Structure 1
């Protein structure tokens, strides 16, 4: 079943120590926690157009979870198989039936096949960036990087804000305790997924970064953890000392910079004392059955098994948290976090960049846990009554080439790929758009990352034409695309 809709075609992250967060809230803390500060701004949310809002009766979202499969999953081996194409295109995997009559997915997605009546597939995504970081930039901001299609590993400064940062900016007057989180953040030898922050909106709208403790298989929120042996009472004593110094005139906050510093400090203390955040990060309260339902992950890859090599043994513990990352995302939604980004397999050689032995990599290391954890997230949200108000987006930065290369792999292909949407009022069992017979180009209803951006913001009740202003005062639309309203009921 298809629906048609007309379609239109600088901030830096700062690394800080825990000490800086606790010792008198130095200025660096303001930078680290800036994504959680609700500063006063003059921007007001423009009203959503009557035509767009009247096209659906579905209530606005409360939360969105983006599961980002860095490296680019093969659409031809997951959700857009071509069983009648030549062998060097269709590959090794066979299609299996789903809960939606006539809809088939890869044989290595058996759990997802049982929830497809809750899912919509867009099979006509496309853009022009052929390299990972520039493609990720467009996927996560809805706009191509001003720097063009850059070679991966070359630093790309972020100009446009990511979706969660833009949402935090426009809804800052709601005083949400934790408006945006990104996880997991720190592994060994990790290539950061680009464009996680506030861009021209400033670092104050960066997300709270959640990292994995590879020793204990647990989570921590950067500087928002008390050092071992320290208590909240000690933190309170230090805060009182700071206030005493202020009253004595040792420090000054009478300037705009000083007032902003005070705001950063107050926010830092609030989060350090936040029981909501502490409880959300504690997966030990989940039953063993629930943790097993999401899965931990297979044994680590060894050198040469992945798409580009890499030290699998060094990264094995972190990899085993892949499924738990989606469980944590569910807990963040329960804690009232409106926007959650989960980044899957960011380390080179351990991600979805399957230039080498694509089929072995997908069936052995990539798809089994992705199948288990994503289906568990959808079912778990549904069981808890959260799926209707939470939009789940599962995507990579592009797809893979229709033609299988000489190494049994597939290369980068942004010309056509697939993504999944679940919850948030989506019409389950829907396929929007189509690729051609080879999975090479859109055959109908082409969709761009700009359209996805507009759809996400529209579902939050925001007008995609709302203007955001960069540091020079230049206006930028919230999203350049058009929302795909017909996907929702």
Structure 2
């Protein structure tokens, strides 16, 4: 009898270890708890035109003047080194280094009149872009009272089926500078860590890519997993549900964790090796191209929101204060062109684009005038974003900038307006009340307006 009791305790410890695999993020039970929204937070929102969302966040501030809103007739110190080319959207030109994406522009809406109040702090601009809350130049670390991002809000208000991950962020926890803290805008904030993303921080371009948070613990075979499942069921026997609701709920989340660990659907999504080499090559054999391909596979496996941050830290990629044209031409634009064009084309070919919202966002744009380091600096007064699918009007351009790309000449749009419109397309009223961990109500995006012009 003592021996059997010891074995039982060991099994239970291993069971809990299975429920705490998320050393790089949430534990699986915490993550799965996000699918048990409180009745107070239930939502009967507008009819959803999109069921899923992929956010490609060009972290650092992509140059609108060298991508989407070129000024070929302007002076050399503004127009830069690149030439525009025609796109599949009649009358709309894009950069010559985006030839593949140029052929997909008929699926998209370009907005060339974005602006907000943040010009210095990447962190504050990222926070505004991803949450819709512009708090000025307040940067710093992510805080518990931050407003939540779309992935967190959708995880709560439009939970996914069991055996799927509601909100995933990859491939980095982007920092505010190489040695800086995590940028705000990717987390659940006042909603609580339960709704934070499931982080995928391994490089999907590596041949040995696997997701540690979803792998079985070393030495734990599938048949032993089934033993743990039986043990978990036995924990319910004799449980007083009225007095032990928390334990009962945790048991349920542990059971869902088992389902996720053994779910063929969830596990298959991460098996990029099953994609044809031609497809992987088309997206680009680099961490970003393969992350975008993984995002498509995760949406196919019922994930609601995937956010892909294109930088390990704010200054690493799109923050082109120096050598802007060399970096764009030789690295950033070819990688982005391959990945984004392949994503849109694949979603359209598979009949998924209509119900999948793709948002290509950034923290701000770059200065009209080229600096002495052949770079462009931060510019918040006017920049561009691109949206596609999921109820977005195809083949449309909203807004315009002046002859130097410095300020909008009409139809100015804020990040809050875009995030509010994204919520509407995803079936959430941006004025809906959500509750923090102290049960206090908050409006999802209070200071924003919908942008009906871009909705199909």
TM-score scaled by length of structure 1:
0.81
Determine if contact 1:75/1:81 at 8 Å carries over to the other structure.
Answer: yes
Map Cα deviations across residues 39-88 of structure 1 (whole Å, 9 max, x no partner).
2412221544xxxx7xxxxx621111110111110001100111222221
CA distance in 2, matches of 1:169, 1:92: 46
CA distance in 2, matches of 1:487, 1:183: 28
The one of 199, 204, 219 aligned to 1:209 = 199
Residues 209 and 222 from structure 1, CA distance in 2 versus in 1: closer, same or farther, beyond 3 angstroms? farther
Determine if contact 1:345/1:351 at 8 Å carries over to the other structure.
Answer: yes
Structure 1 counterpart SS, 2:137: coil
Residues 166 and 407 from structure 1, CA distance in 2 versus in 1: closer, same or farther, beyond 3 angstroms? same
Instruction: Please report how far the alpha carbon of residue 418 of structure 1 lies from its aligned counterpart in structure 2 after TM superposition.
Output: 0.4
Instruction: Please report how far the alpha carbon of residue 256 of structure 1 lies from its aligned counterpart in structure 2 after TM superposition.
Output: 4.3
Is 1:138–2:128 an aligned residue pair?
A: yes
The one of 222, 226, 241 aligned to 1:232 = 222
Residues 408 and 215 from structure 1, CA distance in 2 versus in 1: closer, same or farther, beyond 3 angstroms? closer
The one of 190, 198, 201 aligned to 2:188 = 198
Residues 89 and 253 from structure 1, CA distance in 2 versus in 1: closer, same or farther, beyond 3 angstroms? farther
Count of paired positions: 434
CA distance in 2, matches of 1:92, 1:488: 34
Counterpart for residue 5 of structure 2: none
The one of 362, 365, 368 aligned to 2:328 = 362
CA distance in 2, matches of 1:143, 1:79: 25
Structure 2 counterpart SS, 1:212: coil
Determine if contact 2:85/2:93 at 8 Å carries over to the other structure.
Answer: yes
Counterpart for residue 172 of structure 1: 159
Counterpart for residue 303 of structure 1: none
Structure 2 counterpart SS, 1:431: strand
Is 1:331–2:320 an aligned residue pair?
A: no
Instruction: Please report how far the alpha carbon of residue 105 of structure 1 lies from its aligned counterpart in structure 2 after TM superposition.
Output: 0.8
The one of 381, 397, 401 aligned to 1:431 = 397
The one of 241, 257, 264 aligned to 2:253 = 264
Determine if contact 1:129/1:414 at 8 Å carries over to the other structure.
Answer: yes
Q: Please provide the CA RMSD for this pair.
A: 2.9
Residues 356 and 331 from structure 1, CA distance in 2 versus in 1: closer, same or farther, beyond 3 angstroms? same
CA distance in 2, matches of 1:262, 1:381: 37
Counterpart for residue 119 of structure 1: 108
CA distance in 1, matches of 2:97, 2:339: 13
Counterpart for residue 81 of structure 1: 70
Counterpart for residue 385 of structure 2: 419
Counterpart for residue 168 of structure 2: 181
The one of 155, 176, 179 aligned to 2:141 = 155
TM-score scaled by length of structure 2:
0.87
Determine if contact 2:204/2:210 at 8 Å carries over to the other structure.
Answer: no
- The aligned runs of 1:271-290 (5 Å cut-off) are 271-290=260-279
- The aligned runs of 1:362-401 (5 Å cut-off) are 362-401=328-367
- The aligned runs of 1:282-301 (5 Å cut-off) are 282-296=271-285
CA distance in 1, matches of 2:76, 2:194: 51
Counterpart for residue 410 of structure 1: 376
Is 1:39–2:36 an aligned residue pair?
A: yes
Residues 173 and 225 from structure 1, CA distance in 2 versus in 1: closer, same or farther, beyond 3 angstroms? closer
Counterpart for residue 441 of structure 1: 407
Instruction: Please report how far the alpha carbon of residue 93 of structure 1 lies from its aligned counterpart in structure 2 after TM superposition.
Output: 1.1
Residues 173 and 185 from structure 1, CA distance in 2 versus in 1: closer, same or farther, beyond 3 angstroms? closer
CA distance in 2, matches of 1:344, 1:394: 11
Structure 1 counterpart SS, 2:266: helix
The one of 97, 101, 119 aligned to 1:108 = 97
Give the gaps of 5 or more residues in structure 1.
Answer: 1-18, 54-58, 297-319
Instruction: Please report how far the alpha carbon of residue 155 of structure 1 lies from its aligned counterpart in structure 2 after TM superposition.
Output: 2.1
CA distance in 2, matches of 1:461, 1:217: 38
Instruction: Please report how far the alpha carbon of residue 409 of structure 1 lies from its aligned counterpart in structure 2 after TM superposition.
Output: 1.0
CA distance in 1, matches of 2:453, 2:163: 30
Determine if contact 2:174/2:314 at 8 Å carries over to the other structure.
Answer: no
Residues 383 and 118 from structure 1, CA distance in 2 versus in 1: closer, same or farther, beyond 3 angstroms? same
CA distance in 2, matches of 1:205, 1:108: 38
Q: Which moved more, 1:103-112 or 1:420-429?
A: 420-429
The one of 411, 419, 442 aligned to 1:476 = 442
CA distance in 2, matches of 1:388, 1:21: 41
CA distance in 2, matches of 1:348, 1:97: 31
Residues 100 and 246 from structure 1, CA distance in 2 versus in 1: closer, same or farther, beyond 3 angstroms? closer
Give the gaps of 5 or more residues in structure 2.
Answer: 1-12
Structure 1 counterpart SS, 2:325: helix
